[in-house]
């Protein structure tokens, strides 16, 4: 039986003391590296509850640990990626973790994870988004908002998952961050708006709209001028996103976006119910004209939306929800008593057109 030269050499090396020593050294090195990372994790855990800024030694320990974990996060081995993700999340999830530590962790993670976010594999980016969804700092939330752009190597999956993680993070972000960095959160609203108005995928659009809805309806944000401005800006952004989607549907370039419209209206309805009287008045002024646009777009894009049963049914739901919410925000006495969705579902184009004319007359009372 013939034995390959490489096999023979390997056997020879392993049979001699030097070979055994080399193998032992490699195993010891791997074990030492594992112990080193575990020791770093232990050391990091000792100052997660700090209320003082990290000293240089703590900063070095944190940077070494996060750098090691983000190296694994960018690995081609899925098991290694997921293990790194869980360990990073665990470092943030202990009892008593302070805002001071979270801020330091977030800055260190974003600095080390930059290459992953820019040019890493889709799987590594997804896992990085998961960590960012737990960091919950202004900077990490801004970084998630940047991943919503439909450009470069970012995929639909990126935009959907980044939006999901941003919504989750915003719900857990302490309100004190809004107050201390209002400019950052106004910038996040603008980033989401700019991304959503260019979005061509209806699922990603729906998720981005949900990010705005979360800010607009966050009861933790008070009535102070700046905080009130943030919520108002989010509602204005939602109105602009809805209008942009309707324009794309009307042009024929974005008929698929019709699938997102009913859920967008339902989100607006949930927001409206939670608002105080003053905000309800502003909401009505901002949103009601866009709701009537839903009806008008149905008439203008009738043939495209009625062509397929699924789109016809979905947009019929949008027409129904738009009429219901318009009555709610305007008052039943300021809107027609008819139900335009009935003519839509019956496929009666002329009757629907007449209904839309009556509703359009009440568009800007």
Query: In this predicted structure, what is the pLDDT of residue 364?
Result: 59
**Is the separation of the CB atoms in 359 and 323 below 8 Å?**
yes
For the segment 116-125, the average pLDDT, to the nearest whole number, is 93
Q: Is the pLDDT score of 334 beyond 90?
A: no
Higher-confidence residue of 222 and 295: namely 295
The predicted model gives 83-95 an average pLDDT of 93
Quote the pLDDT of residue 292: 95
Which segment of 24-38, 183-197, 321-335 scores lowest on mean pLDDT? 24-38
Q: Which residue has the higher pLDDT, 139 or 364?
A: 139
Helix (H, G, I), strand (E, B) or coil at 141: helix
Handedness of CA 116, 121, 126, 127 (dihedral sign): negative
Higher per-residue confidence, 179 vs 147: 147
Report whether pLDDT(13) > 50.
no
Instruction: Give Cβ neighbours of residue 115 (< 8 Å, ≥ 6 apart).
Output: 74
Q: Please state, as a whole number, how many other Cβ atoms lie within 10 Å of the Cβ of residue 274.
A: 12
pLDDT in tens, 149-159: 877 778 999 99
Residue, of 35 and 202, whose pLDDT is higher: 202
Report, as an integer, the average pLDDT of 120-130: 95
At residue 9, the pLDDT reads 34
Query: Of residues 143 and 119, which shows the higher confidence score?
Result: 143
pLDDT score recorded for residue 201: 95
Distances, alpha carbon 316 to alpha carbons 195, 216, 322, 348, in Å: 27, 26, 10, 12
Instruction: Between 325 and 12, name the one with better pLDDT.
Output: 325
Angle at the Cα of 193 (from 191 to 196), degrees rounded to 5? 105
Query: For residue 365, is pLDDT > 60?
Result: no
Q: Residue 40's closest CA among 59, 57, 56, 64?
A: 64
Q: Which is nearest to 293 in space by CA: 328, 233, 227, 245?
A: 245
Give 338's pLDDT tier (boundaries 50, 70, 90). confident
> At residue 166, does pLDDT exceed 60?
yes
Is a pLDDT exceeding 70 seen at residue 146? yes
Mean pLDDT of 215-224: 78
Residue 165 has pLDDT above 70, yes or no: yes
Residue indicated by tokens 């003053």: 278
pLDDT higher than threshold 70 for residue 300:
yes
Residue 364 has what DSSP assignment?
Answer: -
CB–CB of 320/343 below 8 Å? no
Contact partners, residue 46, CB within 8 Å, separation at least 6 = none
The b-or-e profile of 255-270 (16+ CB within 10 A means b, else e) is: bebbbbbbbbbbbbbe
DSSP assigned state of 224: S
pLDDT score for 331: 82
Closest Cα to residue 14, out of 4, 24, 5?
24
- pLDDT greater than 90 at residue 24: no
């Amino acid at each position: 039986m013939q034995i390959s030269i490489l096999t023979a050499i390997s056997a020879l090396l392993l049979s001699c003391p030097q070979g055994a020593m080399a193998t032992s050294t490699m195993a010891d090195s791997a074990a030492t590296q594992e112990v080193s990372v575990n020791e770093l994790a232990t050391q990091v855990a000792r100052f997660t509850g700090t209320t003082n800024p990290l000293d240089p030694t703590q900063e070095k320990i944190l940077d070494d640990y996060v750098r090691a974990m983000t190296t694994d996060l960018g690995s081609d081995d899925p098991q290694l990626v997921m293990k790194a993700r869980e360990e990073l999340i665990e470092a943030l999830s202990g009892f008593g973790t302070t805002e001071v530590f979270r801020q330091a962790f977030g800055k260190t993670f974003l600095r080390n994870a930059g290459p992953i976010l820019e040019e890493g594999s889709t799987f590594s980016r997804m896992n990085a988004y998961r960590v960012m969804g737990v960091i919950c700092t202004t900077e990490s939330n801004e970084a998630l908002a940047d991943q919503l752009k439909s450009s470069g190597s970012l995929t639909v999956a990126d935009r959907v998952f980044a939006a999901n993680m941003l919504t989750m993070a915003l719900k857990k972000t302490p309100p004190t961050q809004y107050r201390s960095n209002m400019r950052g959160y106004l910038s996040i609203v603008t980033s989401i708006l700019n991304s959503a108005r260019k979005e061509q995928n209806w699922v990603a659009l729906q998720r981005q709209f949900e990010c705005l809805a979360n800010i607009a309806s966050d009861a933790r944000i008070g009535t102070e001028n700046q905080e009130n401005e943030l919520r108002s800006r989010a509602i204005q952004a939602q109105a602009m996103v809805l209008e942009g989607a309707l324009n794309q549907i009307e042009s024929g370039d974005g008929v698929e976006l019709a699938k997102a419209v009913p859920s967008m209206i339902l989100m607006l309805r949930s927001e409206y119910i939670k608002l105080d009287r003053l905000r309800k008045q502003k909401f009505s002024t901002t949103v009601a004209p866009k709701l009537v646009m839903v009806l008008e777009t149905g008439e203008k894009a009738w043939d495209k939306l009625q062509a397929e049963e699924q789109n016809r049914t979905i947009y019929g739901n949008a027409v129904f929800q738009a009429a219901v919410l318009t009555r709610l925000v305007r008052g039943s006495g300021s809107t027609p008593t008819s139900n335009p969705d009935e003519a839509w579902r019956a496929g009666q184009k002329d009757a629907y057109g007449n209904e839309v004319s009556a509703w359009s007359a009440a568009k800007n009372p």
